[in-house]
Chains A and B, each alone.
Chain A
Amino acid sequence: MQKKTRFTALALLAIMMLAIMGSVVAQDDVTITVWSWRTEDEDAYNEIFAVYEAANPGVTVEFVPFVNTDYNNILATGLTGEGGPDVVQLRAYGSLQPLIEAGQLLPLDDLSTLENFTPAILKGSQGIQDGHIYGVPFGVQALGAFYNVGIFEELGVSEPETWEDFIAILDAAAAAGYIPLANPAKDSWMLPILHDAVAAPRYGGPEFEAAVLAGETNFNDPNYVASIAVLQDLQPYLPPDVVGVAYNDARTLFITGMSPIFIGGSFEIGFWQSEAPDIEVGMFMVPPPPDSLAGSFVPSWMDGSYGVNALTDSPEAALALVEWMGTQEFGQLFTDKIHQISPATGVVSSDPLLAEFAAGMTEHPASYLLLVNFRYGDPSGTTVLGNELQRLFLGEVTPEEVAAALQTGMEQWFVPANTE
Chain B
Amino acid sequence: MTAITGQKDEKRSQTARRRNTLMPSRLTIALFLLPAFLLYTIFMIYPLVQALIFSTFEFNGLVRGAFVGLQNFEQLFSRYPISEQLPRAFVHNIYFFIGTMLIQNTLGLLFAVLLHRPRFGKRFFRTVFTLPYLISPLVVGYLWSLMLNPLFGPVNATLRNLGLGSLARPWLGDPATALPAVILVNAWMWVGFPMLLFGAGLAGIEDDLREAARIDGASNLQIFRWIEFPLLTPVIGIVTVLTFIGNFNAFGIVWALGGVDGTPAGATDVLGLVFFRTAFRGGADAFGLASALAVLMFLFIFTVSVLVQTWFRRLESRMQ
Contacts and interface: CB of A to CB of B under 8 A. Distances in A.
Given A243-B264, A390-B265, 19 more contacts: A72-B280, A73-B280, A76-B62, A104-B61, A185-B173, A186-B173, A186-B263, A187-B259, A242-B173, A243-B170, A243-B174, A244-B173, A245-B173, A249-B152, A378-B281, A379-B80, A390-B264, A394-B174, A396-B175
A320 B98 CA distance: 60
A241 B285 CA distance: 37
Interface in A110-160: none
Contacts of B81: 379, 384, 409
B174 A188 contact: no
Nearest to B282: A378
Interface in B269-308: 280-286
Interface of A: 72-73, 76-77, 79-80, 94, 97-99, 101-104, 185-188, 239-246, 249, 252-253, 376-380, 383-384, 386-387, 390-391, 394, 396, 408-409, 412-413
Contacts of B280: 72-73
B157 to A, nearest CB: 14
Contacts of B174: 241, 243-244, 394
Contacts of B284: 97-98, 101
Interface of B: 60-63, 79-81, 145, 149-152, 169-175, 259, 261, 263-266, 280-286
B80 A409 contact: yes
A76 B261 CA distance: 22
Contacts of A101: 60-61, 63, 284
A94 B282 CA distance: 10
B286 A396 contact: no
10 contacts: A77-B62, A98-B61, A188-B263, A243-B264, A244-B150, A378-B281, A383-B281, A390-B263, A396-B265, A409-B81
A244 B80 contact: no
Contacts of A94: 283
Contacts of A396: 175, 265
Q: Which 4 A-B residue pairings sit nearest by Cβ, starting from the closest?
A: A244-B173, A244-B170, A241-B170, A102-B61
A104 B62 CA distance: 10
A242 B174 CA distance: 10
A243 B81 CA distance: 21
Nearest to A396: B265
Contacts of B173: 185-186, 241-245
Nearest to B258: A186
Contacts of B259: 186-188
B263 A413 contact: no
B151 A102 contact: no
A72 B62 CA distance: 12
Contacts of B175: 394, 396
Residues of B contacting A: mostly: loop
Nearest to A397: B265
B61 A76 contact: yes
Contacts of A378: 281-283, 285-286
Nearest to B64: A102
B83 to A, nearest CB: 10
User: Which of B145, B172, B173 gathers the greatest number of chain A CB atoms within 10 Å?
Assistant: B173
Nearest to B263: A186
A245 B263 CA distance: 11
Contacts of B265: 243, 387, 390-391, 394, 396
Contacts of B261: 188, 383, 386-387
Given A241-B174, A409-B81, A99 B61 contact: yes
Contacts of A76: 61-62
Contacts of A185: 173, 264
User: Which of B80, B149, B261, B265 gathers the greatest number of chain A CB atoms within 10 Å?
Assistant: B265
A417 B49 CA distance: 41
A244 B61 contact: no
Given A186-B173, A244-B171, A412 B264 contact: no
A305 B173 CA distance: 36
Contacts of B152: 249, 252
A412 B145 contact: no
B151 A186 contact: no
A394 B60 contact: no
Given A378-B282, A390-B263, A245 B62 contact: no
A170 to B, nearest CB: 18
Contacts of B170: 241, 243-245
A102 B80 contact: no
B60 A186 contact: no
A297 to B, nearest CB: 27
B80 A246 contact: no
Contacts of B281: 378, 380, 383
A240 B150 contact: yes
B77 to A, nearest CB: 14
A244 B172 contact: yes
A173 B302 CA distance: 57
A231 B292 CA distance: 38
Contacts of A391: 265
B117 to A, nearest CB: 43
Nearest to B277: A383
A98 B263 contact: no
A394 B174 CA distance: 8
A243 B60 contact: no
A175 to B, nearest CB: 20
A253 B151 contact: yes
A103 B63 CA distance: 9
A10 B55 CA distance: 52
Contacts of A252: 152
A102 B63 CA distance: 6
A209 to B, nearest CB: 21
Contact of A413 (B62, B151, B266, B283): B283
Contacts of A103: 63
Contacts of B60: 98, 101-102
A76 B61 CA distance: 8
A65 B169 CA distance: 40
Contacts of A240: 150
Nearest to B170: A244
A221 to B, nearest CB: 20
Given A101-B61, A390-B265, A412 B151 contact: no
Given A249-B149, A378-B283, A187 B61 contact: no
A258 to B, nearest CB: 8
A209 B190 CA distance: 50
A323 B61 CA distance: 26
Nearest to A94: B283
User: Which of A99, A394, A408 gathers the greatest number of chain B CB atoms within 10 Å?
Assistant: A394
B138 to A, nearest CB: 12
A380 B264 CA distance: 18
